[in-house]
Amino acid sequence: MKVSILQFPGTNCEYDTQHAFESLGATTEIIWHKSETIPTDTNLLVVAGGFSYGDYLRSGAIAKFSPVMKAVKEYASKGGKVLGICNGFQVLTESGLLPGALKRNDGLHFISKHHTLKVENNDNIFLEELNNGDVVNIPIAHHDGNYYIDDAGLAALKQNNQILLTYTDAEGNVKNPNGSVASIAGVCNKEKNVFGLMPHPERAMESILGSADGKAMLEGFMKSC
């Protein structure tokens, strides 16, 4: 299992992501954004979190034109597995690889805390180790995590089981920290090979650090990629 992790100027979660996947037994490689190719033995490509290009203009807006993104689009179009976490999710929506957009949190504050999430659809390689309705405890840390999609887009997401996770309380009842449409925390594309979420599973790998629930999420990739 080989995980390639993208690094833009301003990315700051690449080493956490690397540590998380290596602790599960993967080999990893960090790919600088100027690279025009991604390693041919890549089983999973991760767009890691952070603040690419200082979030200038819009979060993820400049990163989408980095040389490596052309290779990422090609990789995804051939069915390659892609995971975008936090800023990585923003980069993937900006690039059009995932539907919708992420705007400023409704409360206008940067939110950094543990949050419970409900698994909405596990019929995909990302969440197959979990059951629908499971509640997981995963940290969030974002300013622009307010997921927006229009009504037609939301209906399509629901119809194709593309909503991965929603923000809830510990009992699984809707609890929306940032104003996201339908309390959405993560989605995938229609083909179910590109995944994006605002919460950070790579920061929930050890119970001594608050939660190990991220393990079950990332293990889904370890088993299927």
Q: Which residues of the shown chain bind other proteins in the complex (CB under 8 A)?
A: 57-58, 61, 65, 93-94, 100-101, 103-108, 146, 148-149, 179
The catalytically annotated residue of 86, 115, 120, 142 is: 86
The catalytically annotated residue of 33, 115, 142, 200 is: 200
Tokens representing 68?
A: 């490596």
Catalytic residue status for 19 = no
Taking the complex as a whole, how short is the minimal distance between the CB of residue 30 and other proteins, in angstroms? 26
Q: Would residue 135 be called left, alpha or beta, if left means φ above 0 and alpha means ψ between -120 and 50 degrees?
A: beta
Provide the CB-side half-sphere exposure for 69 (13 A, CA).
18
Tokens representing 71?
A: 């290779």
- Cβ proximity to other proteins, 146 vs 211, nearer residue: 146
The catalytically annotated residue of 94, 120, 129, 202 is: 202
Element (H, E) at 117: strand 111-119
Catalytic residue status for 191 = no
C-alpha span between 200 and 186 (Å, rounded) = 11
- Cβ proximity to other proteins, 62 vs 188, nearer residue: 62
Query: CB–CB of 7/32 below 8 Å?
Result: yes
- Cβ proximity to other proteins, 58 vs 114, nearer residue: 58
Taking the complex as a whole, how short is the minimal distance between the CB of residue 130 and other proteins, in angstroms? 29
- Cβ proximity to other proteins, 2 vs 73, nearer residue: 73
Catalytic residue status for 143 = no
CA nearest neighbour of 185 among 127, 129, 224, 123: 127
Taking the complex as a whole, how short is the minimal distance between the CB of residue 220 and other proteins, in angstroms? 28
Amino acid identity, position 72: V
What are the residue numbers of the active site?
A: 86, 200, 202
